[in-house]
Amino acid sequence: MKWLVLLGLVAFSECIVNIPLTRVKIMRKTRSENDMLNNFLKEHSYRLYQTSSPGSNIATHPLRNFEDMVYVGNITIGTPPQEFQVVFDTGSSDLCVPSILCTSPSCSSHVMFRYIESSTFLPIGKIFSFEYGRRRMKGVVGRDTVRIGDLVITDQQFGLSVEQSGFEGMPFDGVLGLNYPNISLTGGIPIIDNLKNQGAISEPVFAFYLSKSKPEGSVVMFGGVDKSYYQGALNWVPLIQPGDWRVYMDRISMEGQIVACYGGCEALVDTGESSIIGPRRLVDKILRFLGAKLGGSKHYVSCSAVNNLPSIDFTINGINYPLPAQAYTIKHSSHDCSINLEADTESTSTETWIVGVVFLRQYFSVYDRGNDRIGLA
């Protein structure tokens, strides 16, 4: 499960919620913004609510970007509200934050939920334990009121960590999962489901626009799609099966040559993961194709060569989505640029790629629970 993040939203019945994001430059210069997103909305079984103006019926909420890769936003939990910075993550299904009971060193640098100060908190009497890559969290489960901008979810089940590791130095307190309920590790109903069930949004749809060139401008929207964030038509991709934001990918190619995903593979679209992650042997093949050299734990190319590097082309449902070198490289110094491509340490029976923020900063993405599909523009 990965991290990513950002978001803003809000919606009442027939309205959309937009939440602007702010990026914070940490490790590299911001890159020029080229060809933003472009499409959305083909024919579908129900009408997605749309608006062409960012004015009426849209609530915005500022978010910030960490190291140009992770988009985080504020939510509140409890009564009176206690504020947390969280990652909005399509790779997981649970809301989890540190609790005042946590004694792990990493908890002291984050906001911890003070359950005894919330008049609406209810304990569940259940424990949970899970991992997000190198990060681990164990704790107890409770229920309380959660607010995201103007959206309010009552009686939301969530995890309160009492022990955690791997969160040191992270600019967020917890994670807000946006995946399907079947992969919930706390056994609760995910927030996107409760937003629909409680009438806060009219359709179980959310979308991400991640800014590529400035601290602000990134948004997440719930209940529909704001047309001002895309042009043209959205390309809909059916999920391999309901229950996970996983789609079929045709191939990965460079300069017309297939370099991975021969004969098709799986791609998990993950807003909580910063990188593109794939099988080691195939990642190594792409790195060799780019002429990248290993330096420590990363592979580097000369920054002067970036403009001459080929794009990595992801073909999904017959549509080609090029990822230019300016998008998949990170400038560390005036000379060294690393490749934001990682090898998966876990082996699976099928070839699987995790498509994270590196890709999603290039393309607008819509997540349609009602029709079990993802839209890309």
Q: Are 85 and 74 in contact (CB under 8 A)?
A: yes
Q: Is the peptide bond before 98 cis (omega within 30 degrees of 0)?
A: no
**Residue 28 token pair:** 């590299």
What is the C-alpha to C-alpha distance for residues 90 and 179, in angstroms, rounded to an integer? 5
Give a three-class secondary structure readout of 209-221: ECCCCCCEEEEEE
Q: Are 93 and 183 in contact (CB under 8 A)?
A: yes
Q: Which residues belong to the active site?
A: 89, 270
8-state DSSP, 306: G
What is the C-alpha to C-alpha distance for residues 352 and 376, in angstroms, rounded to an integer? 19
**Residue 301 token pair:** 């190319």
Phi/psi-derived region of residue 41, left when phi > 0, alpha when psi is between -120 and 50, beta in every other case: left
